[in-house]
Structure formats: C-alpha cells, structure tokens
C-alpha cells in the first residue's frame, strides 16, 4: 500500500509511479532546498537535493490558490500530462510530481547553467556567435520536431524557456501553454509572449497549429544573433501610440 500525502483538495492526478503502486507520494520534506532559482506568477523554482539518493533536481512549486483563482487547473493538468509523455535529450524531463494543501510540485531535471536568456544577458557582446547559435537552434529544432511528431505544439518558445545543462546543451522547458494538435485541427487560444507571437496568433480570428513554433524559432535565432528581438521596437511604438489615443 503506497503512502499518500494528506490533501484536502487534490487538483491533479497522482504521479504514474504512485498510481502503479511502485512508490509512495513524494513530499517537500524528502528534499533539502539548495537555493531558489526563480519566481513566477504561479510560484517558485528551487534547486533541491533528494535526502535519500543525494540526487539534484529542480522543483517547480505551483501555488494552488493562484491556479484556482485564475481558473488554470485544466491547463496545469495538461502541462503535467504532456511532460510525462516527452522523453528527449533536449527537453527537460519530468520525473514525478506531488501535491499538498498549498502547492503542486513538479520534480524536474536540473539544468546546471540555467536559462538561455541569462547566458545571453551575461555574454559580453550580449549576443552569440553564429556557430554558437547554430548549435542551440539545431537542438531546439530537434526537440520541436519530436514534439510535433507526437502532435504537441509548445507555443511559448523563447530564451527564458530554454535551459542549458553543464555541457551547454539545450533543454526546452515550460510547457504551460503547450497543447495537442489533433489531425488537421487547429487551435484558437491566444497565448505566448508578445515579441514571439506569430501573425496567425495576433490575428485572433485565425486558428493556429504547430507553425507558430516555427515562427518563434525564427525570432529566437534573430535575437540570439543580434541581442534584440526583431519586433520589440514596433511593439513599444504601438503600445505608446495606443496609450495616446
């Protein structure tokens, strides 16, 4: 009989290994927190060390109250489902997840060098060489191709959502806006990051598919080569114009 956490209201299903009866449900008390890696609108990401195995992971803690208040429960469930289905060297691995009264916690592969965005900002030239960009983009395209073949679209590819391991290899991360593209169907959800939105996403009346990821790869390539987004000036100008009206 597996041991489960005492939770007043569960928002997501149990981890596969727990459902199968192979493992007890994990708890934050199973880990030593090394440091906080980052904070977002739904919670924090922490570098942790498992007390028994001494292995290092990243734990993404999602605030359950915030998720419920924003009506994002189904989106979080979908993110977890998608991540469990992915197994690729250039995609961050979800090992397990657990839940308590305050948080849903994802136990993730730890990427030692952090966000690609951080590497870009700390680079003396604030941009990478073409050879460096070619390696990064190639690996992201490999991850994206794998996802698309499984019928999954990421919809938020950007430097903040690409991590680097100790060897500088890329790990595509953050699948909060990801979803399935079934057969020839297209989706209508307006989501992603403004600088990286494809035209069919901006024109809300148009449906979109995996091609939005191809557009984002182009924007990413430009930003890594030049240090700036190709549309950032236009966005600032349009925003100021809208505010003056």
Which is more confidently placed, 72 or 182? 72
Q: Is 61 helix (H, G, I), strand (E, B) or coil?
A: strand
Domains within the chain, CATH numbers bracketed? 16-108 (3.30.200.20), 114-240 (1.10.510.10)
Rounded CA gap, 97 and 15, in Å? 6
pLDDT, tens digit, 9 for 90 and up, residues 116-134? 989 998 988 889 999 999 9
pLDDT at 191 over 60: no
Q: Is 84 helix (H, G, I), strand (E, B) or coil?
A: helix
Report the pLDDT averaged over residues 94-109.
Answer: 98
pLDDT, tens digit, 9 for 90 and up, residues 27-43? 999 999 999 998 877 78
First CA to last CA distance, the chain: 64
156 catalytically annotated: yes
Report the pLDDT averaged over residues 81-104.
Answer: 97
Catalytic residue among 32, 100, 101, 156: 156
pLDDT of residue 199: 58
Q: Give me the residues paired with residue 97 across strands.
A: 106
pLDDT, tens digit, 9 for 90 and up, residues 138-186? 999 999 999 999 999 998 899 999 999 999 999 999 998 888 875 444 4
Report the pLDDT averaged over residues 82-95.
Answer: 97
Among 193, 110, 116, residue whose Cα is nearest residue 154 = 193
- Model confidence, pTM: 0.85
Q: Which residues of 47-81 are buried (b: 16+ CB within 10 A; e: fewer)?
A: bbeeeeeeeebbbbbbbbeebeeeebeebbebbbe
Percent of the chain with pLDDT over 90: 67
Q: Which residues contact 243 (CB under 8 A, 6 or more apart)?
A: none
């Amino acid at each position: 009989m597996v041991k489960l956490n005492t939770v007043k209201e569960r928002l997501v299903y149990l981890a596969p290994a727990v459902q199968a009866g192979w493992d007890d449900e994990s708890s934050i008390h199973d880990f030593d927190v090394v440091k906080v890696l980052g904070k977002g609108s739904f919670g924090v990401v922490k570098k942790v060390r498992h007390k028994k195995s001494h292995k290092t992971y990243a734990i993404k803690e999602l605030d359950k109250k915030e998720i419920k208040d924003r009506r994002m429960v189904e989106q979080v469930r979908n993110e977890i489902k998608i991540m469990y289905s992915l197994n690729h060297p250039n995609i961050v691995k979800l090992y397990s997840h657990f839940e308590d009264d305050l948080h849903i916690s994802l136990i993730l592969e730890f990427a030692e060098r952090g966000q690609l965005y951080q590497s870009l900002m700390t680079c003396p030239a604030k941009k990478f060489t073409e050879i460096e960009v070619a390696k990064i983009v190639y690996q992201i395209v490999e991850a994206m191709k794998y996802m698309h073949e499984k019928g999954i679209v990421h919809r938020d590819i950007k430097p903040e959502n690409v991590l680097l391991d100790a060897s500088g290899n890329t790990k595509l991360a953050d699948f909060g806006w990801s979803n399935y593209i079934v057969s020839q169907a297209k989706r209508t959800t307006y989501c992603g990051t403004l600088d990286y939105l494809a035209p069919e996403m901006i024109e809300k009346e148009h449906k979109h598919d995996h091609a939005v990821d191809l557009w984002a790869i182009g924007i990413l390539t430009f930003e890594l080569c030049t240090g700036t987004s190709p549309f950032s000036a236009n966005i600032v100008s349009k925003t100021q114009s809208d505010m003056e009206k």
